[in-house]
């Protein structure tokens, strides 16, 4: 189990955030807070980091309710259909729509203004969530809410350039389908993601170091 991130320093987080923002241009910096305890979130607010992404529905609710009006929230974890109704009240954007069962729940609990990103498995990994590129158009047509972009998680690599073709492929898919948002890039490859057109960069460890 991963260790929780504690003892955050606002000045250090601010310095890291400013450096990352200078490197990613117009893309938004999203802080992944899966391993950041609720009581540490006030440090992020002090550091001027207010767009947060949570992976777990229960933690999302607890954190959002503890800091009403302080942060903007995105859901970045695997979207289980049974958790859709718990996630929706707290977020402005879901990054990880990737199943027909979640589509059905969005139809029940969402509104025409609910915004989502479709997760795409651009690398064709059998054990990873995501819609196959060839099936994306039909999936978007079935979606009862507003699809505004795409998200991908390429295979883990210690060499950021290995991720570039996957990010480029996602950019082309978004262009083909007229979608404006690209959620791609994490702590190890965010610079490459920004160069390939990311509009939202999801970072964790590099922001808190």
Domain membership flag for residue 45: yes
118 domain residue, yes or no: yes
Per-residue exposure over 19-45, b if at least 16 CB sit within 10 Å of its own CB, e if not: ebbeebeebbbbbbbbbbeeebbebbe
Is 25 within a domain? Answer: yes
Query: What's 189's domain CATH number?
Result: 3.20.20.10
CA dist., res. 117 & res. 41, Å (int): 25
Is residue 135 in a domain?
A: yes
Q: Can you give the residue range of the structural domain that contains 180?
A: 10-208
Q: Is residue 1 part of a domain?
A: no
- The count of structural domains within the chain is 1
Assign 90 to helix, strand or coil: helix
Confirm whether 138 is domain-assigned: yes
For every one of its 209 residues, what pLDDT tens digit does the chain have, with 9 covering 90 and above? 578 999 999 999 999 999 999 999 999 999 999 999 999 999 999 999 999 999 999 999 999 999 999 999 999 999 999 999 999 999 999 999 999 999 999 999 999 899 999 999 998 887 888 999 999 999 999 999 999 999 999 998 889 999 999 999 999 999 999 999 999 999 999 999 999 999 999 999 999 99
Q: Are 74 and 92 in contact (CB under 8 A)?
A: yes
Report if residue 120 sits inside a domain.
yes
């Amino acid at each position: 189990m991963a260790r929780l991130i504690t003892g955050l320093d606002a000045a250090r987080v601010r310095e890291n955030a400013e450096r990352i923002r200078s490197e990613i241009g117009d893309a938004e910096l999203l802080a992944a807070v899966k391993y950041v305890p609720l009581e540490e979130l006030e440090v992020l607010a002090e550091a001027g980091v207010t767009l947060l992404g949570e992976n777990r529905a229960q933690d999302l609710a607890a954190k959002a309710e503890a800091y009403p009006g302080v942060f903007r929230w995105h859901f970045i974890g695997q979207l289980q259909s049974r958790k859709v109704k718990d996630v929706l009240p707290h977020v402005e954007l879901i990054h990880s729509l990737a199943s027909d069962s979640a589509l059905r729940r969005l139809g029940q609990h969402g509104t025409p203004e609910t915004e989502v990103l479709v997760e795409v498995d651009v690398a064709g990994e059998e054990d990873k969530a995501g819609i196959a590129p060839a099936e994306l158009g039909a999936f978007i047509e079935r979606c009862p809410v507003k699809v505004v972009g795409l998200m991908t998680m390429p295979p883990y690599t210690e060499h950021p350039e290995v991720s570039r073709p996957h990010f480029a492929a996602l950019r082309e898919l978004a262009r083909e389908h007229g979608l404006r948002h690209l959620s791609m890039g994490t702590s190890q490859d965010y610079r490459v993601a920004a160069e390939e057109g990311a509009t939202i960069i999801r970072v964790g460890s590099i922001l808190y170091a």
